[in-house]
């Protein structure tokens, strides 16, 4: 069974801090997604990766296939980064559905 775990569940940071959000998964995946959800519900895809590292602006996502672990890093955090960050996997052995973690609520204070 594919399970996705995220830690921590809540994080409060000061503006400018470097933030790391962790995600681990239990079985082989074909891709790992990092998503952002703001109050009100809409989800935005930040990254999809199956190996290595991706960077977009102040966001960096890494994945370690052997350890079944991924991290999302936010550099120079800003209050507008406050949101719920969710990781989700696409399972190699199953259908194309996304299996989601519970998400991590990030609050960045000015």
Residues that bind other proteins (CB under 8 A): 4, 30-31, 33, 35, 40-45, 48, 50, 86, 88, 90, 94-103
Nearer to other proteins, 4 or 108 (CB): 4
Cβ of residue 62: shortest distance to other proteins, in angstroms? 17
Nearer to other proteins, 30 or 75 (CB): 30
Eight-state DSSP code of residue 8: -
List Cα–Cα distances, 42 to 9, 36, 73, in angstroms: 19, 8, 21
Which residue in 88, 85, 81 sits closest to 103, CA to CA? 85
- Whether a cis peptide bond, with omega within 30° of 0, leads into 8 is yes
Which pair of structure tokens corresponds to residue 32? Answer: 């790992």
Cβ of residue 67: shortest distance to other proteins, in angstroms? 20
Cβ of residue 76: shortest distance to other proteins, in angstroms? 25
Nearer to other proteins, 49 or 60 (CB): 49
Whether 43 and 35 have beta carbons less than 8 Å apart is answered as: yes
Cβ of residue 7: shortest distance to other proteins, in angstroms? 14
């Amino acid at each position: 069974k594919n399970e996705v775990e995220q830690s921590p569940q809540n994080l409060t940071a000061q503006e400018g801090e470097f933030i790391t959000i962790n995600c681990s998964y239990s079985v082989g995946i074909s891709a790992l997604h990092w998503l952002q959800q703001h109050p009100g519900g809409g989800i935005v895809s930040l990254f999809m990766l199956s190996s290595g590292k991706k960077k977009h602006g102040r966001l960096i996502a890494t994945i370690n296939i052997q350890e079944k672990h991924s991290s999302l890093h936010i550099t120079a955090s800003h209050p507008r980064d406050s949101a719920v960050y969710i990781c989700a996997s696409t399972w190699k052995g199953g259908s194309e559905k996304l299996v989601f973690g519970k998400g991590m609520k990030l609050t960045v204070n000015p």
